[in-house]
Amino acid sequence: MESPSLPVTAKDWTSTSLHRVLCMQGGEGDVSYVNNSDCQALAITLCKPILISSLQSIKLFTSPIIRIADLGCATGSNTFDTVDTVVETLRQLFTTVYGGGSLEFEAFFCDLPSNDFNMLFRLLSEKQKVDSSKYFAGGVAGSFYDRLFPRGTIHVAVSLSALHWLSQIPEKVLEKGSRTWNKGRTWIEGAKKEVVDAYTEQSDKDLDDFLKCRKEEMVEGGVLFVLMGGRPSGSSSQFGDQDTRAKHPFTTTMEQAWQDLIDEGPFLAFALINLVRGFDR
Ligand SMILES: C[S@@+](CC[C@H](N)C(=O)[O-])C[C@H]1O[C@@H](n2cnc3c(N)ncnc32)[C@H](O)[C@@H]1O
């Protein structure tokens, strides 16, 4: 199955509305996210002990329903593993304290509207046929830089390998001829300081918006767990080391491929909306 097709114009690829059209590859083919997310799965596995210990610090709620949100869930199956970990850990915790009772779980899978939610729910329904740790599930299409839930309703929110996506390309880097113009480059690796600063400014604002929205939505005493890539403070490179830089697709080869597409006409320009934050941010 292909990802939902939204009308894509050249302007969409260059403008601040890029986040409406970019998405993980849907379906379950060879190039789908489902079959190409081992790296993210490994990051989740490595962080699982920290997730579990942070869940154990949760304030114990008297609410009979525990609501979990995965912000930037993509199409599966990493999101299911994460939600399972949350449900199992909390079920055990509540069983120890309250003897289980009639506790129920509701999981919200959240991503941009362009995400292949059909794939996600198909995989989920197959999984839930054979799964004991059942929960009620819903999809939420929207940006995690905006409010997604009513005030004080979410007990656990997780966001894994997603917050390096900014809400938009900083407008300044698209202003042709300005000091901050990124001269048609696709990204900030190797770009001049003004461009990196514009991306950093956008990333600071976005993180602030993200936290303000969660502050409204979360129940007091809940857990917000965020996993995102980082780089050493003060490093101007988006990559930790030379080796990673050589392997990353958005190096010279990819820039050249985009340049060819731009020269051939379908796109006016292309820029990425990602920024790997330094630890100091
Ligand atoms: C690399 S995937 C990670 C998916 C999953 N969390 C995992 O660990 O496998 C990042 C996801 O974040 C989503 N995303 C990016 N920006 C977003 C935003 N502003 N609001 C909601 N989701 C967003 C993308 O669409 C994508 O599905």
- Give the start-to-end residue ranges of the domains of the chain: 10-278
Query: Amino acid identity, residue 111?
Result: D
Expressed in angstroms and rounded, the spacing between residue 73 Cα and the centre of ligand 1 is 6
- Name, in order, each residue with C-beta under 8 angstroms of 230's C-beta and a sequence gap of 6 or more: 276, 277, 278, 279
Q: What is the pTM of this model?
A: 0.84
**Which ligand 1 atom sits nearest the alpha carbon of residue 144?**
20
Band (pLDDT 50/70/90 cuts) for residue 100 is low
Give the relative orientation of helices 78-98 and 38-55 as an angle to the nearest 10 degrees.
Answer: 20
Class of domain 10-278: alpha beta
pLDDT, tens digit, 9 for 90 and up, residues 242-267: 666 666 666 666 667 767 766 665 55
Residues with CB under 6 A from ligand 1: 19, 23-24, 37, 40, 44, 72-74, 78-79, 110-112, 115, 143-145, 160-162, 165, 167
pLDDT, tens digit, 9 for 90 and up, residues 35-67: 888 888 998 999 999 999 999 989 877 888 999
Query: Amino acid identity, residue 275?
Result: L
Ligand 1 pocket mutation pick from 111, 202, 211, 217 by most atoms within 8 angstroms of CB: 111
DSSP 20: G
d(CA 190, CA 169): 17
In this structure, are residues 72 and 109 in contact, taking their beta carbons and an 8 Å threshold? Answer: no
Residue 245: its pLDDT value, please?
Answer: 61
- Name, in order, each residue with C-beta under 8 angstroms of 244's C-beta and a sequence gap of 6 or more: none
DSSP 155: E
42-to-82, 195, 197, 274 alpha-carbon distances in Å: 12, 32, 31, 20
Tell me the helix, strand and coil percentages in the chain, rounded to 5.
Answer: 40, 15, 45
